[in-house]
Amino acid sequence: MEHTNDLEIFLVATPGLEAPLHTEAVENRFQNAKIVPGGVSCLGSWSEVWRANLCLRGANKVLVRLGSFPAVHLAQLDKRARKFPWSEVLRPDVAVKVEATSRKSRIYHAGAARQRIERAIAETLGVEISAEAGLRVLLRIEKDICTLSVDTSGDPLHKRGHKPAVAKAPMRETMAAMFLRECGFDGSEPVLDPMCGSGTFVIEAAEIALGLHPGRSRKFAFEDLKNFDQDSWNEMRNATSVKETQVVFRGSDRNSGAVQAASTNADRAGVSTVTDFQARAVGDIKPGHETGGLVIVNPPYGARIGDEKRLRSLYGSFGKVLMSRFRGWRAGIITSSPSLARATRLPLLPAGPVVDHGGTKIRLYRTETLR
């Protein structure tokens, strides 16, 4: 197993958002951060694993590679799995779930491979194996190399732990944070989301401005690992002081239920003093007293045939409102339809990369400062 200061840490990205996650990892001083298929890899100690879970807004999961070895048949896998130093990481009293994948390997039956790992852990360490366990051990077999990792996050990291109310078709917090980053948002300017739903963009923006860690309210799987130190973790989690900001982050929605949900979520997240949510149609939005900022919106995409024609007028009226009332502001629009983005008649920059949003392929369309 690797030396504790040189653990290979893998930050799982939303497909299409690897680049902003890499930028975030570099800004947060994670060592040797580089983009790899599926996310970003970096090196660090176990405390860096905790810190990644606590402070990175764009990672969906934080995995740690425990080690790897070659194996070309199940007997060989079984033998090497039993010699693996499980006791350095796993606790005998904490149940685990094992998942396995196999690709381009002579051990092609992932289910049989998973059973060998399960038996090795259970019989050498006395650990209970359970499909409902919150701690996951992952086996990946690729080209006859078996790599074992542990999922240190538990629940996906978009589950911040302080958002009980969810509106229809929500934007995941991890995605919202990365789209804000792609729009150049750094916490110093106002943000307005005129179709705010449960308030994800607004709340993420407020948290960024206040310097609040996204993982401050939740539990992580690494708390059940052998090397977890509760005192050190408490010290890390409580180390950051809240910043002051005079900026107000606003959301509006024509659905009063969504506005109520957003307000509840902001209160639970501890950002209600710098957020404001109003029931308002898109045609009624105004910038207030600010001279510039970011308008960011995740409008309906039109999943059914015929929807796009109906939505074109919504996008068009939104574009007119921005051009007439929001000079000095920038805009970000997330949609699956290039023609709907063009229907805004805004001066759009080249579209961002394709991003997988629950099976729907979406892109970010941005403007520079509107004149």
Distances (CA, A) of 230 to 234, 291, 368: 6, 46, 46
Cα distance between residue 340 and residue 146, in whole Å = 46
| pLDDT above 60 (res 149) | yes
Q: How confident is residue 169, by pLDDT bands cut at 50, 70 and 90?
A: low
User: What is the pLDDT, as a whole number, of residue 1?
Assistant: 43
User: What is the pLDDT, as a whole number, of residue 308?
Assistant: 82
Q: Per this entry, what is the length of the chain?
A: 371
What does the pLDDT average to over 351-358?
Answer: 95
| pLDDT above 50 (res 276) | yes
Beta bridge partners of 363: 335
User: What is the pLDDT, as a whole number, of residue 4?
Assistant: 64
User: What is the pLDDT, as a whole number, of residue 369?
Assistant: 97
**Are the C-beta atoms of 57 and 214 separated by less than 8 Å?**
yes
**Are the C-beta atoms of 297 and 193 separated by less than 8 Å?**
yes
User: What is the pLDDT, as a whole number, of residue 13?
Assistant: 98
What does the pLDDT average to over 345-367?
Answer: 96
User: What is the pLDDT, as a whole number, of residue 358?
Assistant: 87
**Ramachandran class of 238: left when φ > 0, alpha when ψ lies in -120 to 50, beta otherwise:** alpha
What does the pLDDT average to over 161-166?
Answer: 75
Tell me the pLDDT tens digit for each residue of 92-110.
999 999 999 999 999 999 9
In three-state secondary structure terms, 243 is coil
User: What is the pLDDT, as a whole number, of residue 306?
Assistant: 59
Cα distance between residue 241 and residue 263, in whole Å = 24
Distances (CA, A) of 285 to 88, 248, 282, 322: 57, 15, 6, 9
| pLDDT above 80 (res 80) | yes
Please state, rounded to an integer, the average pLDDT across all residues of the chain.
95
User: What is the pLDDT, as a whole number, of residue 307?
Assistant: 78
Q: How confident is residue 3, by pLDDT bands cut at 50, 70 and 90?
A: very low
User: What is the pLDDT, as a whole number, of residue 2?
Assistant: 42
Compute and round to an integer the Cα radius of gyration of the chain: 23
User: What is the pLDDT, as a whole number, of residue 351?
Assistant: 97
Closest C-alpha to 178, from 366, 295, 16, 370? 16
Please give the domain boundaries of the chain with CATH numbers for all domains: 4-151 (3.30.2130.30), 173-217+244-366 (3.40.50.150)
**Are the C-beta atoms of 328 and 370 separated by less than 8 Å?**
yes
